[in-house]
Amino acid sequence: MGFNSFNFILLFLPILLVVWHLLNRSKKYILADIFLTGMSLYYYYTFGISFLVILLVSIAVNYALSLVIDKAPGSAKAVKVIGVLFNLSLLFYYKYLGFFMDNVSAVTGADSFTKEILMPIGISFFTFGQISFIVDRANGEAKDYSFLEYILYTAYFPKLIQGPIAFHKEMIDQFRQKSLRRFDTERFTKGLMSFIIGLGKKAILADTLAKAVNYGFMNTYSLDTLTVIMVMLAYTFQIYLDFSGYCDMAGGVSLMLGYELPVNFNSPYKAATSKELWQRWHMTLSRFFIKYVYIPFGGSRKGKARTVINVLIVFVLSGLWHGAGWTYICWGLMQGLLVVWDDLGIVGVKPSVDAENSAKKPRYLLREKPLLMIPRALSNALTFLMFVISLIFFRSQDMAYAIAMFKRAFYWTYPGFIFRTASKLEIGENYILRQLFLRGGLPGGENMAYLITMIVLLAVSGFIMTRKNTREILETTKFSTKTALGLAIVFVWSFISLSNVSTFIYFQY
């Protein structure tokens, strides 16, 4: 039961909001927390009872370890090691064991007898959240939470499946504030707006682009150069709209409940460098690795060589976090090398007018004696291009397919496969256009209608990403009749499109 499903929109969410606010209005706060926890666990249960069991075991073990720290403070370091190993072992078994055994078999020549293991949805997200808790608890940075508070923090359904990776303090501190439990019309309205905008990104744009993307990557060996370019642009926009759409929806649901989730997206395709991009994309994952990997490994305090190694370690781990495969490792390594290049300071980016007039310039615009300064617009384009290229690794099913995609991208061919790929966009929205080409005798027939649809989709997606993001819209837009009408159109359009409902990309991570 994803956020983009009839059951969630028509049943789960209305029941949740009505009962939650009624309980809090009656000041039955503990009962309200129990209800929200139960609904969160039920939400996860809809993906599979075995997944729920794994989540509950994980919660119970981590909370039990925190109690050991309370009763025996001298054991904190040992418990921290045990807790981290437990969580990583759980993650390794369900996500990486098959990949590990396959590689061992490839090296040794022995047969792999590992059975296919079904990975619990969102395990990377709730495992990292619990690692942060147990480490902070051992370091004395986490408060003494009740079991109800802890299970609600971990199982809180808006962030459970696909993030953001919220730290314990930023959520539990909100759960404890009685003022946030009072119904606030403005906050609820912003939450509803955010949910509808995210639903539109997912149902109208991301899922439509996915039709061409999936077909293209299934037929990698048949693609021509133009089709590769089109498919990669479509995937670059799809993954952004899919993930940011989920974050908008999750943040919107949480706001309607009264709580704010940490920001996870900040217009990453506006970045002028790869380093800046990772300060804008999946921000909560980046801060997790900085706090719990980069800094403990020495960060930038032990010389330039060690800093480079630490950066590469973080990005290789980030690649592995996204998936168990050599394609993900290559993607992470490529992103790490791009960030290292930025850190070298060889090429600088001219600050925008706003940055020049600002008393405090963004850190990512500062360079120490760069050999070359380039305009921000050019740097934006180059950063975007490199990210698009890196996504060939990210999306390809294995290294052979990735190499084949690279060959077709950089060795010019044109057998006309672009029309077959675009033909997957046979959607209700382009019915009139298709009939116009088909019955009006226009050149190209339906194929041209599909291609025009693809071009329009890419243009609209690109335009959206150069405008204000959802957070900025919520901060600057005053709710009015015009706004309500626009949101109603987007909601109805999205709701109709749910007949072709699909899962979110980041569910698999």
pLDDT tens-digit series, residues 31-59: 999 999 999 999 999 999 999 999 999 99
* d(C-alpha 248, C-alpha 263), whole Å: 10
Q: Has residue 191 got a pLDDT over 80?
A: yes
CA end-to-end span of the chain: 17
- Exposed/middle/buried for 70, CB within 10 Å: 0-12, 13-18, 19+? exposed
Q: pTM score, two decimals?
A: 0.90
Q: What is the pLDDT of residues 459-489, one digit of tens each?
A: 999 999 888 999 999 998 888 888 899 999 9
* d(C-alpha 221, C-alpha 415), whole Å: 12
Which amino acid is present at 280? R
pLDDT at 370: 75
Q: Which residues pair with 348 in a beta bridge?
A: 373
* d(C-alpha 274, C-alpha 344), whole Å: 13
Q: Has residue 90 got a pLDDT over 80?
A: yes
User: How far are the Cα atoms of 172, 191, 202 from residue 248, in angstroms, in the given order?
Assistant: 21, 9, 10
Note whether 256 and 20 are within 8 A (CB): no
* d(C-alpha 269, C-alpha 249), whole Å: 20
- Mean local confidence (pLDDT), 212-230: 92
pLDDT at 304: 85
* d(C-alpha 469, C-alpha 38), whole Å: 33
User: How far are the Cα atoms of 18, 322, 406, 471 from residue 316, in angstroms, in the given order?
Assistant: 44, 10, 21, 30
pLDDT at 326: 94
Q: How confident is the model at residue 364 (pLDDT cuts 50, 70, 90)?
A: very low
